[in-house]
Chain A
Amino acid sequence: MASRRLLLELKSVAKSFGETRVLDNVDLAVEDGEFITILGPSGSGKTTILRMIGGFTTPTAGEILLDGKDISGLPINRRPFNTVFQDYALFPHMTVAGNVGYGLQIRGVAKAEIKRRVADALGLVHLAQLAERYPAQLSGGQKQRVALARAIICQPRLILLDEPLAALDVELRKQMQLFLKNIQREIKTTFLFVTHDQEEAISMADRICVMNDGRIQQIGSPLDVYYRPHTEFVARFFGDNNLISGRLGATAGDMRSIDTSFGSLACAVDDQPEVVAAALGGSAYAVVRPESIQLAASGGQLDGCDNKIGATITAVEFSGATTLVRTKPQGSDIEMRVKLPSRADGTALQVGAQVALGWRRVDSRLVPV
């Protein structure tokens, strides 16, 4: 992706409520035109970041820069950002058109122009026919789109979305994810999207910022955070990764070995200078995604695999498109989970069978304990 101009920058931002520190030394750069997602469990501080950018709370320390200028002291109504609130926050006494046109009315835009722009915005979210309805007469998905139209109509520099899809059911949420992504491409405005849902973050974002406990864990593309976790938290947050504890071994190029209870494993460390620099013998986890592991009958061929271990199948769980195979490596108590594409005859996998597991070293990473 071509590098873009910097829009917004958070520098060493911290926030405390009394004794409780909810944000700690957060550095985040938002590029112009990108779709960035802040992802984290509840209480991780992700909404606090959004509220600080929007101006609803002020940071205890640090700076928020817009185009390089500090905006920490700027009141909410003077910031060129608009927010899509979690529960929409539509004005119940105004029609859809009234809600969408509110920001323009406040700015004293001429009536005829408001009418035209409201029609445009409602057309963009496919709600033109509902302009005269009141929010109480709308479904959740419709309210969502009104809230979006209301946020984009003033052409803000940045749109802040605070878990906007959390209240929708699964089907609708999938549709809205696609819809939001398309709108974002169409209007080319920067979106900062807060969510606790990993799948949502992965499917929508250009970049994901993973938060936990008031700290940024990792910032990167969906592929990065999914396949190349930098911390134990990130490794555990995305699905059912296998984490194998061990002691760090020698580094060779962009590979480093780790000694585990079932032998030495080779892992990629190409973008992790801190792991490369870590002391020999330090504790770490080798991380392998269940779908990156190949499975073969004991003694069978495992093509291109740098790491090979023998294991016993302890359970086979069919779950539609994939089948999860739980195994116990020989000489170890840990469980290795392997996710395979399901087959109609499924019989090849027998509980208690001896199998060989293997994976490429580029598919496994090291994270510090």
Chain B
Amino acid sequence: MKKPAGMKKRIAGLPREVNQIGRTPWVLTVLAYGLPCVFILIPLISFLAYSFFWVKGTEVHYDFTLLNYVRIVAEDIYLPVLWRTCILCLEVAVLTILFGYPVAYFLASLDGRKKYVLLMLLLVPLLMSYVIKIYAIRSILGGTGFLNRFLMATGLIQEPLTIFVFNLNAVLLALTVLLIPFAVLPIFLSLEKLPRNLLDASADLGASELQTFVRVVLPLSLPGVVAAASFVFVLAIGDFLTPQMVGGNSGFTFGRIVYSQFGTAYNWPFGSALSVLLCAVVIIAILVGSRFGNKRGVA
């Protein structure tokens, strides 16, 4: 009679295990959906809500108004600055890709350990303080900075140029330098994912290296390029620190306007409305990016 007892125990144990299996994912699910909700969705909703409030003096009035949005459209500073900022960030995206693609291609073509050591070196700047990097770039671009001294040493210019600091050029250059790693990484990954035997097959069918690059490598790395572009664009358009520090008075970007509304003007509702606009642009950029990115590529 011992055997059935043992069997009974085992059968009784079964539902408990099933219960445990059922419970663990439930906790995980709450965490997985709850954390983003608390830390991302609720802040987003709160600033969306704020954009419909208004301010008198330093006091926020919590009743519904569309005045903030009307003001964005009515005053002819916000939309033009937004437009100019978008163009600037597109330029940054194009520049980072033009500089980043060859770097990524070179990295992907290396073999073994060298490749990952160099990739690590490329990513080291990402671990550095953003502010320190901006200072470094500012000193490179400044009147007695490396760039001017280099150009004078080569005899291209006689006097230090002032076109590199405290204007939109400076913002463009600084953002490009800062964001290149973000462009290199997705392009590198898409190149690395590219099966080597496709290059062999192309050469086998008579293609030169250039033909292989144009017909096989470039089209297949396009998703990486698009991902890099939308990555850089989104990061650049949200940046207010870089324009603040190297842009001077003429290098005004949309991010700085938003920042000034929260910081100096203390108009959170208007700042929120501007942020909603910026957010819409970012979402559009991401959608366009993912649409393009999915169209082609290595399945």
Contacts and interface: CB of A to CB of B under 8 A. Distances in A.
Q: Report which residue of A78, A102, A107 has the largest number of chain B beta carbons within 10 angstroms of its beta carbon.
A: A102
Interface string A76-92: 11100111010101111
Given A85-B197, A85-B201, A106-B211, A92 B206 contact: no
Contacts of B203: 55, 75-77
B216 interface: yes
B270 to A, nearest CB: 47
Interface string A94-131: 00000000110011000000000000000000000000
Interface string B214-239: 01100110000000000000000000
A92 B202 contact: no
Contact of B198 (A54, A78, A89, A107): A89
Interface in A145-167: 150, 154
B204 interface: yes
A76 B216 contact: no
Interface string B288-299: 000000001111
A353 interface: no
Contact of A93 (B195, B201, B208, B220): B220
Given A77-B208, A107-B206, A56 B200 contact: yes
Interface residues of A, number: 26
Interface string A22-47: 00000000000000000000000000
Contacts of A83: 200-201, 204
B41 interface: no
Interface string B119-162: 00000000000000000000000000000000000000000000
A76 B297 contact: no
Contact of A92 (B205, B215, B298): B298
A91 B299 CA distance: 10
Contacts of A54: 204
B207 interface: yes
A56 B298 CA distance: 23
Contacts of A82: 204-205
Interface in B31-80: none
Interface in A271-309: none
A89 B197 contact: yes
Contacts of A55: 203
A90 B195 CA distance: 10
Contacts of A87: 195, 197
Contacts of A136: 299
Given A77-B207, A103-B206, A89 B219 contact: no
B206 A106 contact: yes
A55 B203 CA distance: 10
Interface in B145-199: 195, 197-198
B205 A89 contact: no
B5 to A, nearest CB: 46
A76 B204 contact: yes
A78 B219 CA distance: 24
B178 to A, nearest CB: 32
Contacts of A81: 204
A85 B202 CA distance: 11
A107 B211 CA distance: 11
Contacts of A75: 203
B216 A91 contact: yes
A76 B215 CA distance: 17
B269 to A, nearest CB: 49
Nearest to B222: A93
Contacts of A106: 205-207, 211, 215
A41 to B, nearest CB: 22
Interface string B257-299: 0000000000000000000000000000000000000001111
Nearest to B204: A83
Nearest to A136: B299
B206 A93 contact: no
Nearest to B216: A91
Nearest to B296: A93
A154 B205 contact: yes
B299 A76 contact: no
Contacts of B202: 91, 102
A98 B211 CA distance: 15
Contact of B206 (A77, A85, A90, A134): A77
Nearest to B212: A77
B297 A89 contact: no
A203 B197 CA distance: 28
Contacts of B219: 93
B200 A102 contact: no
Contacts of B198: 89, 91
B155 to A, nearest CB: 43
Contacts of A103: 205-206
Given A87-B197, A89-B195, A77 B299 contact: no
Closest 7 CB pairs of A and B: A103-B205, A89-B201, A76-B203, A136-B299, A89-B197, A106-B206, A83-B204
Given A90-B201, A107-B206, 13 more contacts: A55-B203, A76-B203, A77-B204, A77-B206, A77-B208, A83-B201, A89-B201, A91-B198, A91-B216, A92-B299, A93-B220, A106-B207, A150-B205
7 contacts: A77-B206, A85-B200, A92-B298, A103-B206, A106-B205, A150-B205, A154-B205
Interface of B: 195, 197-198, 200-208, 211, 215-216, 219-220, 296-299
Interface of A: 54-56, 75-78, 81-83, 85, 87, 89-93, 102-103, 106-107, 134-136, 150, 154
